[in-house]
Amino acid sequence: MRYLPPFFMLHKYPMKKLNQHPATWISPRVVAASLDRHNGSSLAPYDSLNVSLGVGDAPKTVLANRQLIKQTLNIPQLISARQNHGDQILILDQPLTHDQEFDGYDALITNQTGLGLMIQQADCQAVLLHDPLTPSVAAIHCGWRGSVLNIIDKTIRSMMDTFHTDPTALRAYISPSLGPCCAEFINYRSELPPALHRFQARDNHFNFRQISHMHLTSAGVRPENIDQAGICTACSPDYFSYRRACRSSSPLQGITGRNGSIIALR
């Protein structure tokens, strides 16, 4: 027997609506969007659409948030990774029948429809790529370590090797992330290679979005095919931010949730 809640319960708990920041190049064939932190089920300090199982939030609540994302974006399977700021790339070229979180990858690539590739971030960039010709998609977790490793170039090369992607056909989206207003790197001389020092916007502050733009165009992506959300996660209270949670004025001591950015072929 199927249990249906009585009407008053449906009325009391209406379906929540998630706030999407979509790529400008989405189409009926591809969904690509970042979600803000609102309208999930997690309690403070993970309030409320935390997608990470690795930051101390209740797993049941995180899975409920992920289920809501699947329903909202109409994605059958949600695929993610326990990211570690490295440059390992996972290629998914076979169908998957259920949600999976793989260990130790920072980029996911697929040519399979219905697989939502999700990046978990709190200031790092999610760089989403769509190749409409092959067709295939990629989701890249790119923090400053990813920029140093040029994981963007490695992922595009992997798409070229695996699916014969032509980079000039790629559409790219750089998610909300730490802006040059807040990306202060006091130890940049030891952390960033000299080639990236020219992206210093002002004293010790770096423009990592511009670095990603450079890595994309150097790999062959056309500038007109690159969309940037342009939102700073540390400035906007609508997003989780590790930097903001680490500020001396914050009682959070670095504990916060992770935003989700997702791309999927339909």
Q: Which residues bind Zn ion (CB under 5 A)?
A: 179, 181-182, 232, 234-235
Residue closer to Zn ion, measured from CB, 78 or 183: 183
Which residue type is seen at 138?
A
Q: Smallest distance, Å, CB 254 to Zn ion? A: 17
In degrees and rounded to multiples of 5, residue 54 shows phi and psi of -115, 20
Residue closer to Zn ion, measured from CB, 189 or 247: 247
Residue closer to Zn ion, measured from CB, 160 or 201: 201
The residues, any chain, with a CB within 8 Å of residue 126's CB and separated by 6 or more, are 34, 119, 139, 140, 141, 142, 174, 175, 177, 261
Q: Smallest distance, Å, CB 180 to Zn ion? A: 8
Q: Distance between CA atoms of 174 and 82, rounded to whole angstroms?
A: 20
Q: What are the CA-CA distances from residue 182 to residues 42, 143, 178, 234 (Å)?
A: 26, 14, 6, 7
Q: Smallest distance, Å, CB 263 to Zn ion? A: 25
- Cα angle, residue 147 at apex, residues 260 and 266 outer, rounded to 5°: 40
Q: Distance between CA atoms of 12 and 214, rounded to whole angstroms?
A: 49
Q: Smallest distance, Å, CB 45 to Zn ion? A: 20
Residue closer to Zn ion, measured from CB, 221 or 234: 234
Q: Smallest distance, Å, CB 146 to Zn ion? A: 19
Q: Smallest distance, Å, CB 209 to Zn ion? A: 11
Residue closer to Zn ion, measured from CB, 160 or 235: 235
Cα dihedral value 122, 120, 64, 24, nearest 10:
90
Site of tokens 């994605």: 75
Residue closer to Zn ion, measured from CB, 96 or 235: 235
